[in-house]
Structures are given as structure tokens and as C-alpha cells.
A and B are shown apart, each in its own frame.
Chain A
Amino acid sequence: MQANTLSGGFADPATQSAYAFRSVMEAMARPGTIQDIEGAAPPAPLSPAMGAVLLTLCDTETPVYLAGDMDCEAARAWLAFHTGAPFVGPAHCMFAVGTWDALTPLAVYPIGTSEYPDRSATLIVACSELAAGTTLTGPGIKDQATLSLPEVEAFQANRTLFPLGLDFIFTCGERLAALPRSTEVSRSSSEAIAQAGAS
């Protein structure tokens, strides 16, 4: 076992996970807002924000899917030691971790059932940036919000499944944002204008 497997967890799990959860909850309750999240120092390719989300929400009861490059010895060993979460394929996961390219296509993840729509996966996406971008409307949003999303169509398709569907947490460094299934995603007006001009 490598030294960095044992380190990088929460030094004070009860209070640090309480703060981390509030960041995740604020993000999920207010889509498009960008929250700070601290306290975790996982080995690459996991980011500090990803590590903190996983430490806060995962344990032996939450199957995790590591997509693409995230499925490496360092990430597996760190998560196993700090959370005990079992590793599974995408079809049986409660949480999936990866870059957008590695996580897609989305059709393979559990979206819940009509009687239990909560039995659906949450995707934790590694992003190279978190910024303003695509226009968002829906619960949690006063008028409208905006967030940089890796694409638009997949989130629009996910919205049509409501109340079923996937929920997303976007992470970058020590920051995160979220997009629940309830959010309506449209192209930002600037993009729409640019597209109209190009065609």
C-alpha cells in the first residue's frame, strides 16, 4: 500500500464532511452556483473536490463506477481505504466518477424507477473549468442561471425523463457545481446568436 493511499482523507471527518456536504447541497439546491469544497487531498487523477464529494457521500453501501483513467490503482486504493465503497460497472453504480468523455454515453446508468426515482446514479464529472455558460432554468433558480457544461443535448434529454433521470456534480480543483435532473438547459443567448450568425 502506498503512503498516499493512507493520507489525504478528512483530518476531522465529522466536521469536514459537514462543511463539504453543505457545499454539495447548496450546489444541488441552486443549480449553476459554484461552491468551494475543501479538506481532501486524494491522489491524481482524482481532484480535491472529487475526493471531498466521495468522502462525504460514499461508504460500503454505495457502489462506485470509476470511468476511464479514473479506474487506476491509486484511485481505487484511496477510495477503498477511505470509504470502503465497492467498485462496480456503470449499470449498477450509485456514483460514477470520470471526465465527461469517459462517462458518456449516459444510457447505461440507472435512472430510477417510476415508483423510486431516487434510485438513480449521480455522476461526478471532472471538468477543466467551471464558469458561466449555458443558460439554466428550473427549481432552485431565480429567473435564470448559467454554467459551463460539457454539452447541451445530453442534459436536455435527461430532463425529458423527469422525475426519473441522472443528477450531476461538476468538479474542478477545489470547486464544484451541480445539475439535478429537474433543470432545463438551453443554449446561452450569446451562443445562439453566434450560431445564427454562422449559419
Chain B
Amino acid sequence: MTEYNFAYLDEQTKRMIRRAILKGLAIPGYQVPFASREMPMPYGWGTGGVQVSAAVLTPSDTFKVIDQGADDTTNAVSIRTFFQRTAGVATTTATSDATVIQTRHRIPEEPLHEGQILVYQVPIPEPLRFLEPRESETRKMHSLEEYGLMHVKLYEDIIRHGHIATSYAYPVKVEGRYVMDPSPIPKFDNPKLRDMAAIQLFGAGREQRIYALPPYTQVVSLDFEDHPFEASKADHPCGMCGATDSYLDELIIDDIGGRMFVCSDTDYCEVRQAAGHKGKDAA
């Protein structure tokens, strides 16, 4: 006897989650309710993503976990170790070698390919939540495609700031139908949601929702004709690998205000450095 069932969850729970995933794939962007289970980690640690990963992993998978782009945070290491122990999966930090990638708040820079699955940890799945706290009302708004308020909120941003200030969890419309929260990824990542070759699954544990994007799905960031969506990032090259096309974190490097910009996707940065690319701050 093993201490846990394969991938920790019992079979009945996995069946329930698997049924929700299939309906999510059939109705891209729609939030499927599911009965979330207690997991041996606190909610903030991505129990929604963990439950989705538990339902899709097989013993043949190679599993990668990133937390804001990094493989080595406590959160990422803990989830990776959890499935190494309970599902016997191989693990990796290399984006290209992974078959299942669980992520918190980033999409890898390297384009994903067919055969890969990207599992997002989602804190608040409802994009209309800050406009309307009642679940019964937001459900009605989705059913009637009543998304006008969402545009009003974004337009208020423009009036107040001169541009759309929302820079994370920037709402998208899926296949011209459902408005969806892409999880708190930077809006720099939004264009990668569209036409991705990999399957994208979203799990919200506390809020008990699963949603999905099949490969090659049309995903459009909400915007206005006079204020088109812009996938912005810090206007610097990476200090370590010199990349100009990656999302950057700003690091304070000394106590006199010295700063450095470095790729948030650590695997992307390391692969580039190993290939000989050098940024201005590299040793």
C-alpha cells in the first residue's frame, strides 16, 4: 500500500474535476463550478491549480512549476515535490522538456508546443467580481453577455490615467463570447493566450471554478479603438542575458538605489546565458 492515492486526490474527486475540465474545454472561457477539496497546503498556494494538475497528470509526465516565472521559490519547489512524491512524475525546470507546467502569474517566454498543458493557479476567477460582488448577478451578466460595465471600468482608467492602468489580470474575451480573467499574469503575457499550441487550464480552489482554453483559441484583450491594448514591459534589456523580448523584474542590487532588470522567466534567462548571451550586468 502506498501512503497516498496516485496524485493524492481520491478517484471520485479526480473524476469530478476531469468532467469539469472537459466541459471547460467545450465552452472556452466559461467558468465551470466544481467541488474543491482540501489540499495539504494553504489556499494562497494554488490549491485550484494543484487539483487540476492532480487530475491531468500521468506517471509518464514531466512536471514543471513556476511561481512568477521562477522555478526555485518555496511555493514552486513545494508543489513540484508534492507531485514527485504522490504521482511519481519526473520534474524539470526546462520549459521545453515539460509536458505539464503549473504556473502562478506568468506564461513562459518560450512558445509552448502541442502535447504540453499549462495549468494556471487562479485566485479570483470572476473578471466581473470587482464590478458586482454577487455571484448570482455575475452569472446572469455572463449568460446575457452583459459586459458593458467592464468597458466602462476600463474607460474610467483612461479618463483618470490617460491610459488603461490595469496591468495584471487584464480581462480578455474568448472566441467572441465569454469575458475571462487570465489570472494575475502581467498584460505583457496576454498575447500568448491566443492561438497557443498547448492546452490551457485554469483552477481556482477557494472560488471552486475551472475554466479552459483549447489550443488555437481566439483570445482578445479588451480595448478601445482610440486606446488599443498594449502588451507593455519595462523598457530595458535583461541585465543578465540581454534579452529585449522578455518580461523583466526590477531588482534592487545595493543599498544606494542601484537597480537591475532581469528576466522574470528564470529558465528562459538561463538558457540564453548558457548559449552565450550576456547582459550589461552579467559577471
Residues of A within 8 A of B (CB): 13-15, 17-19, 21-22, 24-26, 28-30, 56-59, 61-62, 94, 114-118, 120, 122, 139-142, 162-163, 167, 180-182
For the complex formed, measure the closest distance between the CB of A173 and the CB atoms of chain B, giving whole angstroms. 21
Partner of B216, one of A14, A21, A59, A139: A139
Q: Is A17 in contact with B26, judged by CB distance below 8 angstroms?
A: no
Chain A residues positioned under 8 Å from B14 (CB to CB): 17-18, 21
Q: Which residue of B lies closest to A12 (CB)?
A: B6
Q: Is A17 in contact with B16, judged by CB distance below 8 angstroms?
A: no
Closest 9 CB pairs of A and B: A140-B214, A14-B6, A180-B26, A118-B23, A114-B143, A139-B214, A18-B58, A139-B217, A29-B214
Partner of B16, one of A30, A61, A162: A61
Q: Is B57 in contact with A18, judged by CB distance below 8 angstroms?
A: yes
Knowing A115-B140, A162-B177, say if A181 contacts B15 (CB, 8 Å): no
Q: How many residues of B contact A (CB 8 A)?
A: 46
Partner of A182, one of B21, B28, B60: B28
Q: Is B177 in contact with A19, judged by CB distance below 8 angstroms?
A: no
Q: Is B143 in contact with A25, judged by CB distance below 8 angstroms?
A: no
For the complex formed, measure the closest distance between the CB of A112 and the CB atoms of chain B, giving whole angstroms. 8
Against A, the Cβ 8 Å flags (1 = close, 0 = not) of B17-40 are 011111111111010110000000
Residue B199, interface by CB 8 Å: yes
Q: Is A180 in contact with B143, judged by CB distance below 8 angstroms?
A: no
For the complex formed, measure the closest distance between the CB of B68 and the CB atoms of chain A, giving whole angstroms. 27
Q: Is B56 in contact with A28, judged by CB distance below 8 angstroms?
A: no
Q: Which residue of B lies closest to A17 (CB)?
A: B11
Q: Is A59 in contact with B15, judged by CB distance below 8 angstroms?
A: yes
Chain A residues positioned under 8 Å from B5 (CB to CB): 14
Residue B7, interface by CB 8 Å: yes
Chain B residues positioned under 8 Å from A57 (CB to CB): 15, 18-19, 22
Q: Which residue of A lies closest to B6 (CB)?
A: A14
Q: Is A140 in contact with B215, judged by CB distance below 8 angstroms?
A: yes
For the complex formed, measure the closest distance between the CB of B227 and the CB atoms of chain A, giving whole angstroms. 28
Residue B59, interface by CB 8 Å: yes
Chain A residues positioned under 8 Å from B114 (CB to CB): 30
Given contacts A57-B22, A115-B139, 14 further A-B contacts (CB under 8 A): A15-B58, A17-B15, A18-B57, A21-B56, A29-B212, A56-B15, A114-B144, A115-B140, A117-B27, A118-B27, A139-B218, A163-B27, A167-B26, A182-B175
For the complex formed, measure the closest distance between the CB of A54 and the CB atoms of chain B, giving whole angstroms. 11
Q: Which residue of B lies closest to A164 (CB)?
A: B27
Chain B residues positioned under 8 Å from A62 (CB to CB): 19
Chain A residues positioned under 8 Å from B263 (CB to CB): none
For the complex formed, measure the closest distance between the CB of B269 and the CB atoms of chain A, giving whole angstroms. 29
Q: Which residue of A lies closest to B174 (CB)?
A: A139
Interface CB pairs A-B, < 8 A, 20: A14-B11, A15-B6, A18-B7, A21-B14, A29-B199, A30-B214, A57-B22, A58-B15, A61-B16, A62-B19, A115-B143, A118-B20, A118-B24, A122-B22, A139-B214, A142-B216, A162-B27, A162-B177, A163-B177, A180-B25
Knowing A15-B59, A25-B199, say if A56 contacts B18 (CB, 8 Å): yes
For the complex formed, measure the closest distance between the CB of B260 and the CB atoms of chain A, giving whole angstroms. 39
Knowing A18-B6, A142-B216, A180-B25, say if A163 contacts B178 (CB, 8 Å): yes
Partner of B215, one of A30, A116, A117, A181: A30
Residue B122, interface by CB 8 Å: no
Complex Cα gap A59–B114 (Å): 31
Q: Which residue of B lies closest to A143 (CB)?
A: B216
Q: Which residue of B lies closest to A180 (CB)?
A: B26
Complex Cα gap A61–B217 (Å): 31
Partner of B22, one of A15, A25, A114, A117: A25
Chain B residues positioned under 8 Å from A59 (CB to CB): 12, 15
Q: Which residue of B lies closest to A168 (CB)?
A: B26
For the complex formed, measure the closest distance between the CB of B9 and the CB atoms of chain A, giving whole angstroms. 9
Partner of A25, one of B12, B18, B144: B18
Q: Is B56 in contact with A25, judged by CB distance below 8 angstroms?
A: yes
